[in-house]
Amino acid sequence: MWNEVFIEHRKISPMCTGFISWDLSAKQQRGADWREKASCNECSYHSEMFNLYNEVVAKKHGRRTAAINLSIQVALNHIAISTTGLQKLFLGSNIPAPSTLSMQHSANVVSEIIEEYNKKDLAQKRKLLKEINIPRGDNPNIINIQADGMYNKPIYSGMGKTPFQPKRGRKFASQGG
Ligand SMILES: [Zn+2]
């Protein structure tokens, strides 16, 4: 990218001895990533806009999503912080945070895919459990389960109210076929 910019600048302003750098006034945020262009501090040269991210090839028309915005949402599904929690992490690190709207858009894209894969994964696990029940002499159509639910309260919500963990822990137990 920089080579392309330097060559273009030399062609347009061969005598210019200015420095090329990012034009910060033109930068555009795309969730957690950026589009930027370069400009010269002496002549009027400025480059085209560059996406500083890898794009995901979309099935639908419209702007292609930055891959990092989707991978962030996949990561958020594995931990107990929300969009707001991630924004706090960004802002605490002095990094401009993605907007709630853009993160919600990315979340909607990945949630359908995650649901689809979870269903496939659980179907495979159920099939395996049925197979295991047969040599055990158990009814293959009855599968006993126990699992922890995801915590959903930020830890500071109990500040000054309880010396204990304020999060709601859940445990599910079920028996069925
Ligand atoms: Zn120049």
What spacing in Å lies between the alpha carbon of 18 and ligand 1's midpoint?
5
Q: Does pLDDT of 57 surpass 90?
A: no
Please give the pLDDT value at position 22: 94
CA distances from 93 to 24, 144, 148, 157 (A): 19, 45, 32, 22
Asked whether residue 112 falls in the same domain as residue 65, the answer is yes
* Ramachandran bin of 31, using left for φ above 0, alpha for ψ from -120 to 50, beta for the remaining angles: left
Asked whether residue 40 falls in the same domain as residue 93, the answer is no
Q: Does pLDDT of 98 surpass 70?
A: yes
Q: Residue 107 is encoded by which pair of tokens? A: 């979340």
Q: Does pLDDT of 156 surpass 80?
A: no
What spacing in Å lies between the alpha carbon of 8 and ligand 1's midpoint?
10
Q: Residue 52 is encoded by which pair of tokens? A: 């500083």
Residues around ligand 1, an ion, CB closer than 5 A? 13, 16, 18, 40, 42-43, 45
Last residue of a domain, one of 26, 53, 80: 53
What's the domain range around 93? 55-143
Rounded to whole angstroms, how far apart are CA atoms 162 and 156? 10
Question: Could you tell me if residue 170 is inside a domain?
Answer: no
Rounded to whole angstroms, how far apart are CA atoms 137 and 56? 48
What spacing in Å lies between the alpha carbon of 95 and ligand 1's midpoint?
30
CA 117 and chain centroid, separation: 17
Asked whether residue 39 falls in the same domain as residue 108, the answer is no
Quote the pTM value.
Answer: 0.64
CA 148 and chain centroid, separation: 24
Rounded to whole angstroms, how far apart are CA atoms 29 and 66? 11
Please give the pLDDT value at position 21: 93
Nearest to 53 by CA among 98, 93, 88: 98
Asked whether residue 49 falls in the same domain as residue 63, the answer is no
What spacing in Å lies between the alpha carbon of 53 and ligand 1's midpoint?
26
